[in-house]
Amino acid sequence: MNSDRPPETVRAYLDALQRALKGTSPGLISDALADAAEHLQGEIASKPGVPEADVLAEVVETYGTPEEIAEEYKSMEGSIAGPFPRTASVPQQRRGFLGIIGDPRAYGALMYMLMSLATGIFYFVWAVTGISLTVGFSLLIIGIPFALLFIGSVRILAHMEGRIVEALLGVRMPRRLPPASAAADTIWTRIKDALSDARTWSSLLYLLLMLPLGIAYFVAALVGIVVPVALIGSSAAGLLTGHAHVQFSDVPWLDHIFHTAPGLLLAVLAGVFLLFIVLHIAKAIGWLHGRVAETLLVRL
């Protein structure tokens, strides 16, 4: 794009802004596009009768070119300390196996896994109920407004989930809702826009997927916490009291370990080792789920 010639349409301006932000997080791009679209549409609406190209040429002088806006967003993003500041974090390859104990991303992911069962159930019930009622009301006069209301609720839930993902998993997600349809748009235009927007369906898919994912995450996190903690606690108690609290009558050699001081000490160390393994697994799951959320929830 020639920087000496301002974009003549809002779509061209947004495309240029998206190109200028290439390489940054999709969440940042989404926020920048939403802000720019809202500002540009507002300027055009405030000057009825003036050609769009003329309005944009004037706006560029005050608001800035796409390249200038992109640089401002990049600078602003670098100065904001998120839940996991880049300057304070140490790359995983330098942390080593034991360094996971000081990595906040592991604990955030573990917390996300524990709460994902509750959110997954809520999202799934909401999505299934909304789809069922939308289909049921489709032949009635309230079917169309109900469908729009349901689609709006899906977008709100997707935005709320994005805030949770950013807070606990450290993945940059959109921090504002996408701009609403213009007031002048007819209800049929709004329906067409909602149905043609791929993110409407990808967000709905995400809400449905969160039930099986939430069950798997919750079970993995619960077992991952309970087993090593129980192993450490029971073995440490056995060392202090001299009485074994774990019985393996069907496995004599294993039962013998939990009746000797060296065996109990080894069990404590094994429990600690398992805790480190669980934290590494939790962080990996958090990273993977962050990519899934970014793919399905971020609307560009």
pLDDT at 251: 59
258 neighbors 267 (Cβ within 8 angstroms): yes
Residue ranges of domains in the chain: 10-79, 92-300
Where is average pLDDT lowest: 49-53, 83-87, 230-234, 295-299? 83-87
Cα angle vertex 12, ends 10, 13, to 5°? 65
The mean-pLDDT minimum among 103-107, 108-112, 160-164, 250-254 falls in 250-254
For residue range 224-251, what is the model confidence (pLDDT) as tens digits?
999 999 888 888 877 777 666 666 666 5
In angstroms, the CA 289 to CA 281 distance is 12
Question: pTM of the prediction?
Answer: 0.82
Segment 35-73, tens digit of pLDDT: 888 888 888 888 888 888 888 888 888 888 889 899 988
